[in-house]
Amino acid sequence: MSGEEDGEAASAGEATDGAAVVAAVEAVADRFESERDHLTELDSAIGDADHGGNMARGWAAAAEAARDLDDPDPQAVCRTVGKTLMAEVGGASGPLFGGSFVFASAELDDGVTAESAVAFAETYLEKVEDRGDARVGDQTVVDALTPAVHTFKKSVETDDLPPLEALAKAVDAAERGVAFTVPIRARKGRASYLGWRSVGHQDPGATSALFILEELLATAADALDSEVPDVDATSPTIPDEAPEETAGDGDGDATPEDED
């Protein structure tokens, strides 16, 4: 992530940006390798237990493809990552995580600036929502992405925060979004077949989105030679749109079964 305010200064640093994006992809790949079992455990509770393996395999391939690029500008890296994820990650995570990368990469024509990062994030979220027909409260990746993207946009455009701080706030928002998936009932994806039994479980897709954002933040801090900023977590970041129905109506089946 480039910290420059104006486009000209940012484009001067494009080569570095590309390398930083490759570094971020490698960090994400390492993270998914180490979280493979954790994600599979989450997915075995409410899905088909393949999310950890799929993401680890997909991101390892994506990191390799990104390393192999001759001209790793940010747009080319994101497009390659998306294409590779679409080809390597099975199930809905391929088009949701990977396809959205491909389409959002169109926003990076002029490299990565705070503004293009906001546009990228918004397009990414829009693609995931439309493709999966999911909204906040459905216990999906959208529950992590929506607050993260809205928080990032507000931090950059309204609060005028430096990009690294904006990203740190987005990660914090995603973290709370992931926590938000635990008490609610799944209405999309395979977990939705479980009905109330999905209550009490953390969504694996939302968790994966958080991992990606956390590694992006760590890599951005590295690239800018800064510490990861502390964020003030007191302001609520879950968006206003309330889910149509709320969990916690006292259904007896809603006992969490997270213990191993």
Partner 1 sequence: MVGLVVVSHSERAAEGIAEVAAEMAGDTRIEPVGGDGRGGIGTVPDAIEAAIDDADDGDGVVVLVDLGSAVMNADVAVELSDAEAVIADAPVLEGAVNAAVAATDPSATLDSVREQAEAARGMEKL
Torsion 47-188-185-144 (CA) sign: positive
Cα–Cα distance between 11 and 34 in angstroms, integer? 34
Under a CB-based contact definition with an 8 Å cutoff, are residues 212 and 55 in contact? no
Q: Is 99 in the site for partner 1 (CB under 8 A)?
A: yes
Least Cβ distance, residue 239 to partner 1 (angstroms) = 24
Which of 36, 83, 126, 218 touches partner 1 by CB under 8 A? 83
Q: Is 59 in the site for partner 1 (CB under 8 A)?
A: no
Least Cβ distance, residue 50 to partner 1 (angstroms) = 10
DSSP characters for 136-159?
Answer: TTSSSTHHHHHHHHHHHHIIIIIS
- Closer of 77 and 166 to partner 1 (Cβ): 77
Q: Is 94 in the site for partner 1 (CB under 8 A)?
A: yes
Q: Is 52 in the site for partner 1 (CB under 8 A)?
A: no
Cα–Cα distance between 13 and 11 in angstroms, integer? 5
- Closer of 94 and 111 to partner 1 (Cβ): 94
Least Cβ distance, residue 27 to partner 1 (angstroms) = 25
Cα–Cα distance between 222 and 242 in angstroms, integer? 37
Interface region with partner 1, contact rule CB under 8 A, candidates 85-93, 146-154, 215-223, 226-234: 85-93
What per-residue string of b and e applies to 193-220 under the rule 16 or more CB within 10 Å gives b? Answer: ebeebbbbbbbbbbbbbbbbbbbbbbbb
Interface region with partner 1, contact rule CB under 8 A, candidates 69-77, 84-92, 117-125, 194-202: 84-92
Under a CB-based contact definition with an 8 Å cutoff, are residues 209 and 145 in contact? yes
Q: Of 224-253, which residues contact partner 1 (CB under 8 A)?
A: none
Cα–Cα distance between 200 and 181 in angstroms, integer? 8
- Closer of 100 and 113 to partner 1 (Cβ): 100
Which of 65, 102, 118, 217 touches partner 1 by CB under 8 A? 102
Task: Kindly state the helix (H) or strand (E) to which residue 34 belongs, with its residue range.
Answer: helix 14-46
Interface ranges with partner 1 (CB under 8 A): 83, 86-87, 90-92, 94-96, 99, 102-103, 131-132
